[in-house]
């Protein structure tokens, strides 16, 4: 078999900056010269403290920056340019190439629509199915994200299921369009620790089973280490460090990386020795 001439990354962000041009703020750009690549099937963690620019990066990638903010540079999503693209083309890219899971599942869910219908919508957008086939596809989608009682959940409204179940449904919706890349923006931050572990295991499994790429965004190195192979560290809108997770943890170079690694170790030993928390 011959090697392909051109390897298309799932995502390639090159010299991305985000500005708030109308604001006249003297602070300058919100993101500056952010660059990273994500190969097909790879898992990258984007780490940074609150306000470092993680969400603006995710919104830039999906072409969803709020009004008043402008992106510059290049973002290739499955080989297609996002920066400067028309909304019509971006709609096609979202879903087909990349889907997003947010911190708060209610962002993605309509409170007035039964969950089964909400999952059926993205499935129908990309596949022509009979009613019976569609019902089976919705059940399969719920089973894939580890939910039991799928008939009850399909008939329920978002407020009638638990927070963890809602996040699983939101993940099922994000996966329903068969994207190549899943962008998970702090998907477990709003959940308690045991539920969090279940969602991380789920992401780990579906990403492997489907051979997808994952961009996992979090402020928490310990959480990222559960699902990512490589990380990019953002601080004040700039990339300050990057590398394989194993290298960064074993040999942290940048002061911010050292701080993060020390913090994650402290938390880990506090969990192992609960008395040390007192
Ligand atoms: N619409 C906007 N207009 C102006 N500034 C904004 C806007 N949205 C975000 N910012 C600013 O951009 C910076 C980066 O924000 P961003 O939401 O990307 O941070 P984050 O790393 O995702 O933080 P968090 O973990 O708290 O969500 C912050 O200083 C924020 O105040």
Residue 230 has pLDDT above 60, yes or no: yes
Give the position, in ligand 1's atom list, of the atom nearest the Cα of 23.
4
Which residues, including other chains, have CB under 8 Å from residue 187's CB and lie 6 or more apart? Answer: 101, 102, 103, 167, 171, 199, 203, 216
Q: DSSP strand E in 91-175: where?
A: 98-101
- The fraction of the chain above a pLDDT of 70, given in percent, is 91
Q: Three-state DSSP class for 110?
A: coil
- Which tokens go with 144? 């894939």
- Which of 23, 51, 234 for a ligand 1 pocket mutation test, highest count of atoms within 8 Å of Cβ? 51
Give the position, in ligand 1's atom list, of the atom nearest the Cα of 65.
1
Name the nearest CA neighbour of 234 among 97, 54, 110: 54
The average pLDDT across 187-198 equals 90
Q: In this predicted structure, what is the pLDDT of residue 41?
A: 93
Residue 274 has pLDDT above 90, yes or no: no
Query: Residue 261 — very low, low, confident or very high, per pLDDT cuts 50/70/90?
Result: confident
Q: Which is higher by pLDDT, 92 or 201?
A: 201
Question: Which protein residue's CA is at the shortest distance from atom 26 of ligand 1?
Answer: 50
Among 20-34, 78-92, 195-209, which stretch is predicted with the lowest mean pLDDT?
A: 20-34
Write the pLDDT tens digit of every residue in 24-62. 555 679 999 999 999 999 999 999 999 999 999 999 999
- The fraction of the chain above a pLDDT of 90, given in percent, is 71
CA distance 243 to 48: 14
- Which tokens go with 20? 């708030």
Q: In this predicted structure, what is the pLDDT of residue 85?
A: 92
Beta partners for 233? 47, 241
Distance between first and last Cα of the chain: 61
Residue 9 has pLDDT above 90, yes or no: no
């Amino acid at each position: 078999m011959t090697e392909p001439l051109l390897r298309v990354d799932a995502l390639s962000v090159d010299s991305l900056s985000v500005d708030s041009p109308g604001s006249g703020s003297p602070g300058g750009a919100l993101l500056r010269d952010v660059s990273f690549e994500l190969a097909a099937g790879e898992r990258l963690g984007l780490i940074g403290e609150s306000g470092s620019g993680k969400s603006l990066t995710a919104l830039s990638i999906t072409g969803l920056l709020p009004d008043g903010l402008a992106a510059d540079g290049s973002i290739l999503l499955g080989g297609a340019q996002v920066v400067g693209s028309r909304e019509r083309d971006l709609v096609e890219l979202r879903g087909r190439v990349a889907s997003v899971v947010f911190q708060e599942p209610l962002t993605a869910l309509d409170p007035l629509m039964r969950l089964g219908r909400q999952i059926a919508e993205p499935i129908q957008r990309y596949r022509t199915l009979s009613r019976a086939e569609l019902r089976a596809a919705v059940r399969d989608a719920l089973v894939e994200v580890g939910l039991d009682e799928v008939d009850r959940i399909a008939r329920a409204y978002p407020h009638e299921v638990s927070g963890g179940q809602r996040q699983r449904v939101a993940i099922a919706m994000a996966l329903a369009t068969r994207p190549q890349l899943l962008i998970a923006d702090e998907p477990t931050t709003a959940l308690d620790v045991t539920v969090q572990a279940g969602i991380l295991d789920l992401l780990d499994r579906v990403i492997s089973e489907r051979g997808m790429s994952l961009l996992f965004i979090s402020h928490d190195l310990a959480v990222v280490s559960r699902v990512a192979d490589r990380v990019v560290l953002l601080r004040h809108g700039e990339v300050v460090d990057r590398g394989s997770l194993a290298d960064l943890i074993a040999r942290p170079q940048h002061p911010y990386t050292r701080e993060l690694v020390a913090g994650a170790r402290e938390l880990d030993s506090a969990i192992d020795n609960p008395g040390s928390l007192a």
